[in-house]
Structure 1
């Protein structure tokens, strides 16, 4: 089913969103890559397109850039529909590719000013130098890409994408080529630059943690459709489906039956308001919503193993009715040992109950 029109309910005097898609559909042969995708992005907002490989997020990015033509639907920038015949360079959209695509024969400064054809030579130099200053690479202006580290190459690519002042900046897995240490630092620097410049950005990632760290809102996708849109807190705490809940971290899930608005589980009763009596549902809880108590005060479980993790320890527990061992992270001052019987107490307000989705 297509997403609802995002303009519905908007007052006529409201400014249009910086970017909007309406019923965007793209098919490659018999495969539908995008199926009626509609969403909007406010000016200055950073949106993460999140999902597994093949869910359509990169296709959506390319459609916004004008590199893929939709079979149905529209892309609008500042309320103006982009014609299918309008070339990417005329859309006011900047794109930063996964491999950065720097020209090896040009200096860093020449790379950044490469797309500044509308400005005089002096103006282009000034803009390029200002962007390099913003990403902390003013001292590498005369260097060549072959002498740069991965993090420096990423920042040069960001400066080049921002140099023409695009209305929307598109980033396709921009940190995937960096090791963990550099990725965390460069990612933080990139977000800082985007906020400082007021850029409107659409960023593709398959990493839920990255989406939470970089974005104002997340567009979660599955099989060419939008599953849920919202802030990271919304998607984590108030997911609308088991798929969305499971995408954002460990989830203990077991089928349950509802009665009187409650799903009864091995770990206690979970609120399920509005659910029909006798309905089968998936009852879920995140490990951090479970605390240890005396054996008689909660669901009894046996400690199979305790593993030291530095500031914390991990407990692996077995409880009757749970198909797999439960892993909990606890403070090191908890004296529980292997073989001990403990009680598991669940914060029922943090529980999640979903209808069983068809395959």
Structure 2
């Protein structure tokens, strides 16, 4: 039967559905009625500061932590709820911790085959070999973990987690033990593998850059709650609160009051639609919302310091009316120096207005 015109096709259920999960440790609410859905093939970050509840939520999905209330479903199947809980090994979940937990007495290939003990030997060896090829380590199959670099150990742990074909892969701060250059390379390699295998992934991280670069969507957590869910672009360009805006970068915060649909700032009036006349607000500006101009244009400022960064330079600029000096990135060819007078103007992006009481 053909659906009537305008009738939407029924979408498949989420791969993972978390419904109002709560977990307390004494007087501390580690999770406070958290809900989140992840679609098949999607990579989602649980982002937040230490202690916000993201690892507790990951452990609840893995079956390592029993929530006090709520439900968790995987492909529509209830794996945690008031009726009982499916044990971790029966959930079809892959789990990878930041320390990798490789067995030092087993070779790389034996580590990857460890979760394949129920498969015939030849099949297990074939699957392990295929996973090692995907992460570019087939040539290290007979090596031992103690001979691997940090990046190689991370890729072996990824191959082992993917070998059983999990319905969802859970990554808990998987790159935090790597140096910066290795971390960037391994992140890119990991993303390529996840995209190729179309593995549904839930990633725990405290690094906004990591969440923005690796994930389709981000669930930002604070004090046991999810405060905003969306794409990286949504959270960066359209933050729901000052907390969300500040999590993704520095803000210059200027208090004021709304008058006639605008709020007065040292840069001049800024549109403030939706705020009542006289409402106390906080105008929040990202550093990239400010550009340098010639003296006499815009807000008068003075360069306090110049720091060379390679492709760019960073000026610290003081201006009357701003609560603190601002940092402005400029091309490295801009040779203005400390003490020089400049003007400051606003670009049309990177500015947000929040109610003062919310801030």
Name the TM-score, length of structure 1 as normaliser. 0.94
Alignment check: 8 A CA contact 1:270 1:348 kept = no
Q: CA deviation at 1:349?
A: 4.5
Tell me which residue corresponds to 2:115: 115
Q: CA deviation at 1:146?
A: 1.1
Task: Supply the distance in 1 between the matched residues of 2:30 and 2:181 (Cα, whole angstroms).
Answer: 34
Tell me which residue corresponds to 1:44: 41
Task: Supply the distance in 2 between the matched residues of 1:350 and 1:187 (Cα, whole angstroms).
Answer: 27
Tell me which residue corresponds to 1:302: 302
Taking a change above 3 Å as real, the CA distance of residues 320 and 250 of structure 1, as seen in their structure-2 partners, is same
Tell me which residue corresponds to 1:266: 266
Tell me which residue corresponds to 1:145: 145
Tell me which residue corresponds to 1:61: 58
Structure 2 alignment gaps of length 5 or more? 1-7
Structure 1 alignment gaps of length 5 or more? 1-10
Q: How many residues were matched structurally?
A: 349
Of 4, 9, 14 in structure 2, the residue corresponding to residue 17 of structure 1 is 14
Q: Describe the SS at the equivalent of 2:244.
A: helix
Tell me which residue corresponds to 1:8: none
Alignment check: 8 A CA contact 1:107 1:145 kept = yes
Tell me which residue corresponds to 2:341: 341
Tell me which residue corresponds to 2:74: 77
C-alpha distance after superposition, 1:11-36 (max 9, x if no partner): 79321010110111111111100011
Name the TM-score, length of structure 2 as normaliser. 0.94
Tell me which residue corresponds to 1:228: 228
Task: Supply the distance in 2 between the matched residues of 1:244 and 1:190 (Cα, whole angstroms).
Answer: 27
C-alpha distance after superposition, 1:76-112 (max 9, x if no partner): 1112211343100111101001110111111111110
Tell me which residue corresponds to 1:4: none
Q: Describe the SS at the equivalent of 2:274.
A: coil
Q: CA deviation at 1:335?
A: 4.2
Q: CA deviation at 1:322?
A: 1.4
Q: CA deviation at 1:338?
A: 2.3
Q: CA deviation at 1:272?
A: 1.3
Taking a change above 3 Å as real, the CA distance of residues 133 and 357 of structure 1, as seen in their structure-2 partners, is farther
Over the aligned positions, Cα root-mean-square deviation in angstroms equals 1.4
Task: Supply the distance in 2 between the matched residues of 1:275 and 1:116 (Cα, whole angstroms).
Answer: 59
Tell me which residue corresponds to 2:5: none
C-alpha distance after superposition, 1:95-140 (max 9, x if no partner): 0011101111111111101111331111111111100010011011
Say yes or no: does 1:166 pair with 2:166. Answer: yes
C-alpha distance after superposition, 1:14-68 (max 9, x if no partner): 2101011011111111110001111111111111110000000000100110111
C-alpha distance after superposition, 1:249-291 (max 9, x if no partner): 1211121111112121112222211101111111011111111
Alignment check: 8 A CA contact 1:270 1:353 kept = no
Listed as ranges, the matches of 1:214-225 within 5 Å are: 214-225=214-225
Q: CA deviation at 1:330?
A: 0.6
Structure 1 window deviating more from structure 2 (208-217 vs 75-84): it is: 75-84
